[in-house]
Every structure is written in structure tokens, then in C-alpha cells.
Homo-oligomer: A and B are copies of this chain.
Amino acid sequence: MPSTTGPMLATYPKSINLDRAKLAAAVDALNDCAQACTACADACLSEDMVAELTKCIRTNLDCADICATTARVLSRHTGYDATISRTLLEACATACRSCGDECAAHADKHEHCRICAEACRACEQGCRDLLATIS
């Protein structure tokens, strides 16, 4: 099932102050990362060694919340305010970096951490690619 992000962007009735291709790629990466982080937090919670994964769970929860909110803000174009998008993208890239690092540290033991680390890296890159067109 292809994402509806791009097709929906194409129907926006006014102009959009961002590169549409990079915007759609960032929103898709954000939603994918939010989903991966939510699932990784729960998978960590069910591991026998959960006591060693509490920082990973916490960072997953933060990253899921921040990515979901960033996807929403980037999906709104009415009354666009570049300063909100820019500072939020910076916070989101920071969260993705932290969560990607944390998950990567467990990637050899837990496949969910390996996949989640990849989603975080892709999302951080998507945020930075879009940021580069704003600032």
C-alpha cells in the first residue's frame, strides 16, 4: 500500500513553502519511525532482559511522540510559520539521533532494535534534508 502523503500534498489548494518531494519523504520517514519506535518500546518491554533496556524504552517513547507531532506539524501548510517547523525539525533530528544511537547499541542482540535504529537514521536524515531547504 503506497503512502497517501504525496497524493494528499498534491491536492493542497494553496502554495506550499517547502520542497514537496523532500517534505513528503520526511513525513513518510517520520510516520515510519514513530511506528517503529512504538513497536520497539513494546518489544523491549517483553524481553527477559528488560531491566537492561529501560533507557531504550524511554528513548523510543520520546522519539515516537516527537516524530508523530513533527509529521502533523509538517502536514499543515495554512498560515505557515517557518520558525515552528525549523525548531521542531531540529528537536526531532536530535531525538532520532539519540534513539538511533541507543537502539544501535542493542542491534546485535535484538532485531527490533536493529530495524528501529535504521528507521531512526532514515528519519534523522529526512529531517536534516528538509531543514537544509528551510534555513
User: What is A's interface to B at a CB cutoff of 8 Å?
Assistant: 1, 3-5, 7-9, 11-14, 27-29, 31-32, 35-36, 38-43, 45-48, 50-51, 54-59, 61-62, 64-66, 68-69, 71-73, 75-79, 81, 83-84, 87-88, 90-91, 94-95, 98, 102, 110-112, 115-116, 119
Contact = CB atoms under 8 A, between A and B. Distances in A.
Copy number in the complex reads 4
B83 A98 contact: yes
Q: Tell me whether chain A's interface is mostly helix, strand or loop, or mixed.
A: helix
A81 B65 contact: no
A126 to B, nearest CB: 10
A62 B73 contact: yes
Nearest to A9: B39
